[in-house]
Structure 1
Amino acid sequence: MRRVLIFGDDDRSVLAAVRSLGRAGIAVHLAPFNWESPTTQSRYVSAVHRLPRYSDNPIVWLDELRHLLDQQQFDLLLPCCERSMLPLDQNRDRFADQTIALPAHDTLTILNDKQRTRDLCARLGVPTASGRPVREDDNAQSLVAELGLPLLIKQTQSYRLANLTSRNGVVQVNTADEVEAFLAAVPTREGLLVEHYFDGDGLGLSVLAKDGVISQAFQHRRLGETGTEGGSSLRISEAIDPRLRAAASAISAATGLNGVAMVEFRQDRTGNFILIEVNARLWGSLPLAVASGVDFPLYLFEQYVEGRTRPQVDYRVGLRGRNFLRDLHAIAMTFRTGPGHWSQALQRLAGFAMQPASWALGRERSDTFVRHDLGPALAQLRMAPRIAENRAHRRAEPDLERRNQGKSG
């Protein structure tokens, strides 16, 4: 029986991959970061391997993983986020005997760095937001005069190998005073990128490519976002915009992409768009792509293990996908913004309450609630009070302190 070792535990991308490959008759072994993750409760998980954290001791992590791979044969290693991708990329020589679904090092060097991605887009003619790296001589007045308001300030890399336990977040600043406060609070400006906020809908063009040529593409639009970092709790599948496809194709060709990626865009009301970033890994809205008919995890396995490339498949347009707990949290946060947003919050709450009817009518799918695999959803519900408590604790932290720690606020 074929085997895959999946690194991660996210209840969106990882769970979708577990279910996809498990349904295909592949034995799925999981190496989670959170050993209590609801994803571990999936009926399609054959075994859970409790590897130590790389950040705690890289040598121990390498030795434990090497020992596991020497004891068990896997057809594919599938890292699902930077916390496993970066260590595997850094230590490719230790795993040269393994097939790893990981783009080339040179590809990751570009796509994992937002400024290098911006530089590539400039050469290719792909539009991006007005912005640049933050300089030591920058101040609030100069940045506002140059780029306007609001501004987004972010690290060029979401994760760094030296600290994989903390994700570098995105800060939106709306006034010159907020810009000044942020610049005064950060310990260093090295690696900081500032961009003008581009108002519009979040779009994602997800792709699978081989030698830089896209074989599968899928597009979705975000209907509900969870913060300035662009994560979504509610999305809808839609037909591919040829302009976005052309931009993604140019980037894939220029980087020689082998594997999956989600190319993130924003589009305003006039139809103008910009590229936000490229995530060269499985992405949060993956359950919607699979439910719509584009089984990226299986096609990725086939490409790496069997050398098979499928022609573009047709997929369903107009299907919604929702993450239960993330959407509930997003609605609660909308209520907290004040009475001016209550109408929007009530509208979203009504849609949230109609989920069972939407499931029955085939208009919507849940990331976690799936009839043939209820374990993760039930575990998620049991953990909901603890998750809410953790989020309440984070909200109680000073805003700039929370953001500078890299936590999603």
Structure 2
Amino acid sequence: MADSAQLRNPLRVLVSEGNSTSAREAITILGLSGHLIEVCDPSPYCLARFSRFVRKFHRCPGLRDDPVGFLGFIERLLTARHFDVLLPIHEQGLLFARVQQRLEVRVGLALPSFASYRTAHSKAGFSRLLDQFGLPQPDTQIVKFADELRDAVRFPSVVKTSVGTASRGIWFVRNQADLESALQDLSANGAFADEVLVQGLVAGTTEKAQAVFCRGKLIGFHAYRQIAAGAGGGEAIKQSVSRPQVRAHLATIGEKLAWHGALSVDYILPDDSATPLLIDCNPRLVEPMSAYLAGIDLAGLLLQVSQGEMPAPLSESRAGVRTHLAMQALLGCASRGGTRGDLTRECWRLLIGGGPYAESAEELTPVRLDWISAVPLALTAICLLVAPKLVVTLARKGWGEHLLDLRSIRLIESENFR
């Protein structure tokens, strides 16, 4: 476990959403460090409600459906109550970067320019950035029409919408039937109003890395490998790894974009090559508990940067530290067709720390540290044991109103946005 990034006094932190796994993990880390945490979210039953570390919950408009209303709520809250740091733990960062100057006079905030944020947030923008800097990625084409996509696809491929997170907007196209299904979904969702990416499907291992930057300088880095998948391709079991080459790539990206704050990437280590291929970018911290348990407190480091400090770069996190998310493990078991018996066995392994969970620490619902986190974990287990097919409904609860869509992005980008 990391030695928490120590500031002179506990800070009052406003976390801008409470339903993502990333927010839930950041709350645990900051709470263990003694900071005073308040959370905004449209859902009264979001994950953050089930934490002893949350001092106060504020129900707010949804970012996706009402970005203007959400921003107004945040600004009124900052006026009414004192906060030292506003933490854009998810896609709220795009909105906050758009009005950064207004917010920075009221609260500590670590974000790059809006142009840099938008480049990293867009899959097409990130791909062009990699080309510009000569950084490795799979063979990629960017298209805007269905006919262009048909011409670009070479089986097997991955098709991605330019906007999408939490594993949304991704299709694996291995044959003509997959292509037709993807085209039907893309057309139905209006994806061709924006850009669509076609990438060669690379056989290999998917890993993720995350970093914190201060004025373009990388000051904290952590990487991990997926050991077992949960629902929707998210991680159920992870193991920390040492990836100096990926660290160098991230440092280059951060320097060129003058990045300030948190930045994460996904990449593939191909079976036939030692060169990691960058495949996605998230302008935020993604599930920072893995780094914390491997000895590096990225969430605490982000608070220091938000306060205007210039921390010294942290040493590398420990490789080989295994962690898991019990809720994701259960959802993953059910999504792969697991029966009640399979789920019962998975619950038992999680309870006793057996099988793949041996010498692994819980990230998302650390009951020993935060007993209230047992509530969403127990409810997930009960629902799946009663009806394993509920996995689809439960997994979609993570795709909430805290996520942006093309309409809300266009509104935030518009010249007259206030």
Q: Same fold (TM over 0.5)?
A: yes
**TM-score normalised by the chain length of structure 2:** 0.80
Corresponding residue of 1:279:
282
Task: Report 1:181-200 matches (<5 A).
Answer: 181-185=181-185, 186-187=187-188, 188=190, 189=192, 190-200=194-204
Contact 1:260 1:282 in 2 (8 A): yes
Pair 1:123 & 2:126 matched: no
Contact 1:139 1:183 in 2 (8 A): no
Pair 1:235 & 2:261 matched: no
Corresponding residue of 1:373:
370
Return the match for 1:111 from 95, 115, 120. 120
Q: What secondary structure sits across from 2:34 in the alignment?
A: coil
Return the match for 2:36 from 27, 33, 44. 27
1:334-359 residue CA offsets vs partner (Å, 9 max, x unmatched): 346x9xxxxxxx8xx77981663369
Contact 1:78 1:102 in 2 (8 A): no
Q: What secondary structure sits across from 2:79 in the alignment?
A: helix
Contact 1:103 1:280 in 2 (8 A): no
C-alpha distance 325-73 of structure 1, shift in aligned 2 (>3 A): same
Corresponding residue of 1:246:
248
Contact 2:84 2:108 in 1 (8 A): yes
Aligned-partner Cα distance in 1 for 2:119–2:98: 15
C-alpha distance 176-362 of structure 1, shift in aligned 2 (>3 A): closer
**Identity across the alignment (%):** 21
C-alpha distance 263-141 of structure 1, shift in aligned 2 (>3 A): closer
Pair 1:263 & 2:265 matched: yes
1:61-114 residue CA offsets vs partner (Å, 9 max, x unmatched): 3332222111111000001111x2233233335424232232321220210011
Aligned-partner Cα distance in 1 for 2:50–2:149: 49
Which of the pair has the greater relative contact order for Cα pairs under 8 Å at 6+ separation?
Answer: 2
Contact 1:12 1:287 in 2 (8 A): no
Corresponding residue of 2:84:
75
Letter in 1 for 2:307: V
Structure 1, unaligned stretches of length 5 or more?
160-165, 339-345, 397-404
Q: What secondary structure sits across from 2:59 in the alignment?
A: coil
Q: What secondary structure sits across from 1:245 in the alignment?
A: helix
Pair 1:211 & 2:215 matched: yes
Corresponding residue of 1:223:
227
Name the Cα RMSD after superposition: 3.1
Corresponding residue of 2:335:
333
Contact 1:13 1:283 in 2 (8 A): yes
1:160-194 residue CA offsets vs partner (Å, 9 max, x unmatched): xxxxxx98421112112321343245144232111
Q: What secondary structure sits across from 1:49 in the alignment?
A: strand
Instruction: Give the length in aligned residue pairs.
Output: 375
Letter in 2 for 1:5: L
Aligned-partner Cα distance in 1 for 2:18–2:376: 13
In the TM superposition, residue 203 of structure 1 has moved relative to its aligned partner by 1.3
Pair 1:16 & 2:25 matched: yes
Structure 2, unaligned stretches of length 5 or more?
1-9, 397-404, 407-418
Aligned-partner Cα distance in 1 for 2:228–2:74: 38
Aligned-partner Cα distance in 2 for 1:129–1:27: 43
C-alpha distance 66-42 of structure 1, shift in aligned 2 (>3 A): same
Letter in 2 for 1:363: E
Aligned-partner Cα distance in 2 for 1:212–1:59: 30
Contact 1:16 1:287 in 2 (8 A): yes
C-alpha distance 168-131 of structure 1, shift in aligned 2 (>3 A): same
Letter in 1 for 2:279: I
Return the match for 1:202 from 203, 206, 213. 206
Return the match for 2:151 from 142, 154, 162. 142
Corresponding residue of 1:399:
none
Corresponding residue of 1:357:
353
Aligned-partner Cα distance in 1 for 2:94–2:49: 23
Task: Report 1:281-300 matches (<5 A).
Answer: 281-284=284-287, 286-300=288-302
Pair 1:53 & 2:53 matched: no
1:11-65 residue CA offsets vs partner (Å, 9 max, x unmatched): 6321221122222221111112422123222111111111122344444333322
C-alpha distance 331-168 of structure 1, shift in aligned 2 (>3 A): closer
Aligned-partner Cα distance in 1 for 2:41–2:118: 25
Corresponding residue of 2:99:
91
Letter in 1 for 2:163: Q
Corresponding residue of 2:410:
none
Contact 2:144 2:195 in 1 (8 A): no
Corresponding residue of 1:157:
163
C-alpha distance 183-382 of structure 1, shift in aligned 2 (>3 A): closer
Corresponding residue of 2:400:
none
In the TM superposition, residue 220 of structure 1 has moved relative to its aligned partner by 0.7
Letter in 2 for 1:202: T
Corresponding residue of 1:163:
none
Q: What secondary structure sits across from 1:138 in the alignment?
A: helix
Aligned-partner Cα distance in 2 for 1:9–1:335: 29
C-alpha distance 289-362 of structure 1, shift in aligned 2 (>3 A): farther
Letter in 2 for 1:47: K
In the TM superposition, residue 237 of structure 1 has moved relative to its aligned partner by 0.7
Aligned-partner Cα distance in 2 for 1:63–1:122: 38
C-alpha distance 142-352 of structure 1, shift in aligned 2 (>3 A): farther
